[in-house]
C-alpha cells in the first residue's frame, strides 16, 4: 500500500508539472486577485498556471481584517461574488459583508475547475527575459529559499506573466532590479477610498509580457493601501485577465507597450 501511495502522488504530480512547462499565462501568487485573474483566463480557454510560494492558498484574504475573518465588498464587485456563488449580506448602502473563508474557498475551487493548475510551495525568484520581453519565470521550492540552500532553480515559459504578489510587488521589483526600464513606486499609507478607486486604472501591462494586478498594482504606481475591502482586488484580477485575453486574441496587436 505504501508503494501505491508514493507512486500515485509522485507520478500524478510530475504529470501535472510536465504539462505546465510552457503555458500561455503564469500568475505569481494565489491571493484573491491572482485567483480571479486565473478564473477568467481559464474560462476563456487560456492555458494558465499559478505558482504560490505559501503552503496555503488565499494570500491576505482568509485573515479578514485583523483576524476577524470577514471582508467588505462594494456594490461594483457584486457581479463577481455572484459569478463565484459567494454569499453576501448587505451591511450599509453599497457595502456588503462576506465570510473570508467562504470567499477564498469558492475562488480557489472555481478557478481550479476552469482547468487552472495551482502549484503551492513554489517561489518565483526571477523571470525569463528575451529581447526586452518577459517570457516566463524562474522557480524553486519555497523551502529551498527559506533554508538558503544553493540549489539551482528551473524555468517555466509563458506568453504573459501576471504579478499578483500583493503588497511586495515581487515580480516587478525583480524586473526593476535586474532589467531596469520600470520603477516600482511602493504603496502609500491607508486611504481605502482612493486605493479602491485607483486600483483598476493601475492594473495594466507595465513591461512587455508583464501585467500587474491586485495590491501589487497599487504598490507599482504608488497608490494607497485599503485594508480588508476586496471589491478592487476582484475587479483588478478580472481586468488583468481581460487585458491578456484581448492581447492573445489580437495576436499581440492590442498590447500597450
Ligand atoms: O497578498 P495577496 O492577498 O495579494 P492580492 O491578491 O490581495 C491583497 C489583499 O489580500 C490585501 C489587501 C486588500 O485590500 O490589501 O492584502 O493583491 O496575495 C499575494 C500572494 O502572492 C504570493 C503570496 O504568498 C500571497 O499568497 N506570493 C508573493 N510573492 C510570491 C508569491 C512569489 N515570489 N512567488 C510565488 N508567490
Domain range list for the chain: 2-63+100-249
pLDDT at 96 over 80: yes
In Å, how far from its chain's centre is CA 200? 15
CATH number of the domain located at residue range(s) 2-63+100-249 in this protein: 3.50.50.60
CB-CB contact of 46 with 248 (8 Å): yes
pLDDT above 90 (res 102): yes
Q: How confident is the model at residue 257 (pLDDT cuts 50, 70, 90)?
A: low
Ligand 1 atom showing the smallest separation from residue 232 Cα: 14
Site to probe by mutation for ligand 1, drawn from 100, 169, 174, 214 as the one with most ligand atoms within 8 Å of Cβ, is: 214
What phi, psi does 172 have (nearest 5°)? -65, -40
Buried b / exposed e across 223-236, counting CB within 10 Å, b at 16+?
Answer: bbbbbbbbbbbbbb
Could you give the CA distance from residue 23 to residue 209 in angstroms, rounded to a whole number? 13
CB 83 within 8 A of CB 101: no
Paired with 207 in beta bridges are 210
Q: What percent of the chain has pLDDT over 70?
A: 99
Q: How far apart are CA 178 and CA 25, in angstroms?
A: 21
Q: Give the C-alpha separation, 210 to 76, whole Å.
A: 26
Q: Are 141 and 122 in contact (CB under 8 A)?
A: yes
Which ligand 1 atom minimizes the distance to the CA of 214? 17
The closest residue, in CA terms, to atom 11 on ligand 1 is 60
Which residues lie with the beta carbon below 6 Å from any ligand 1 atom? Answer: 28-34, 51-54, 59-61, 123-124, 164-168, 170, 214-216, 225-227, 229-230, 233
Partnered with residue 96 across adjacent β-strands are 73, 90
CB 18, CB 11: distance < 8 Å: no
Atom of ligand 1 nearest to the CA of 213: 17
Distance (Å) from CA 234 to ligand 1 centroid: 13
Q: If we measure between CA atoms, which residue out of 118, 71, 121, 79 comes closest to residue 95?
A: 71
Q: Could you tell me the distance, in angstroms and rounded to a whole number, from the CA of residue 102 to the centre of ligand 1?
A: 18
The torsion defined by the Cα of 117, 50, 129 and 21, in degrees rounded to 10, comes to -20
Which cell numbers hold the place of 72?
467588505
Q: How confident is the model at residue 251 (pLDDT cuts 50, 70, 90)?
A: confident
Distance, in Å, from the CA atom of 241 to the CA atom of 218, rounded to the nearest integer, reads 17
CA of 231 to the centre of ligand 1 (A): 15
| Cβ 199 vs Cβ 166: under 8 Å | no
* Nearest atom, ligand 1, residue 216 CA: 17
Q: Closest residue (by CA) to atom 22 of ligand 1? A: 29
**pTM metric for this prediction:** 0.98
CA–CA–CA angle 179, 180, 182 (5° rounding): 125
pLDDT mean over 96-120 = 98
C-alpha of residue 215 to centroid of ligand 1, in Å: 8
User: Of all protein residues, whose CA lies closest to atom 20 belonging to ligand 1?
Assistant: 29
Cα(163) to centroid(ligand 1), Å: 9
The whole-number pLDDT of residue 256 equals 67
Percent pLDDT > 90 in the chain is 96
- Mean predicted lDDT score pLDDT of the chain: 97
SS3 of 147, please? coil
Distance 150 CA to ligand 1 centre (A): 26
- The rounded Å distance from CA 54 to ligand 1 centre is 10
Q: How far is the CA of 29 from the centre of ligand 1 (A)?
A: 6
Amino acid at each position: 500500500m505504501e508503494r501505491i501511495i508514493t507512486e500515485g502522488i509522485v507520478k500524478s504530480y510530475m504529470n501535472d508539472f510536465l504539462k505546465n512547462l510552457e503555458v500561455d499565462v503564469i500568475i505569481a501568487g494565489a491571493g484573491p486577485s491572482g485567483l480571479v485573474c486565473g478564473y477568467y483566463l481559464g474560462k476563456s480557454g487560456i492555458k494558465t498556471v499559478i505558482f504560490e510560494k505559501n503552503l496555503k492558498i488565499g494570500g491576505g484574504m482568509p485573515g479578514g481584517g485583523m483576524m476577524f475573518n470577514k471582508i467588505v465588498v462594494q456594490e461594483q464587485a457584486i457581479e463577481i461574488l455572484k459569478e463565484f456563488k459567494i454569499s453576501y449580506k448587505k451591511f450599509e448602502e453599497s457595502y456588503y459583508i462576506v465570510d473570508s473563508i467562504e470567499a477564498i474557498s469558492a475562488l480557489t475551487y472555481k478557478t481550479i475547475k476552469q482547468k487552472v493548475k495551482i502549484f503551492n510551495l513554489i517561489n518565483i525568484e526571477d523571470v525569463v527575459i528575451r529581447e526586452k520581453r518577459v517570457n516566463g519565470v524562474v522557480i524553486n521550492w519555497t523551502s529551498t529559499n527559506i533554508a538558503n540552500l544553493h540549489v539551482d532553480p528551473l524555468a517555466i515559459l509563458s506568453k504573459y506573466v501576471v504579478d499578483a504578489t500583493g503588497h511586495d510587488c515581487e515580480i516587478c521589483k525583480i524586473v526593476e532590479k535586474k532589467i531596469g526600464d520600470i520603477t516600482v513606486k511602493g504603496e502609500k499609507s491607508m486611504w481605502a477610498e482612493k486605493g479602491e478607486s485607483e486600483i483598476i486604472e493601475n492594473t495594466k501591462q507595465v513591461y512587455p509580457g508583464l501585467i500587474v494586478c491586485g495590491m501589487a498594482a497599487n504598490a507599482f504606481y504608488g497608490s494607497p493601501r485599503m485594508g480588508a475591502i476586496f471589491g478592487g482586488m476582484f475587479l483588478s484580477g478580472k481586468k488583468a485577465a481581460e487585458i491578456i485575453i484581448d492581447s492573445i486574441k489580437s495576436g499581440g496587436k492590442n498590447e500597450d507597450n
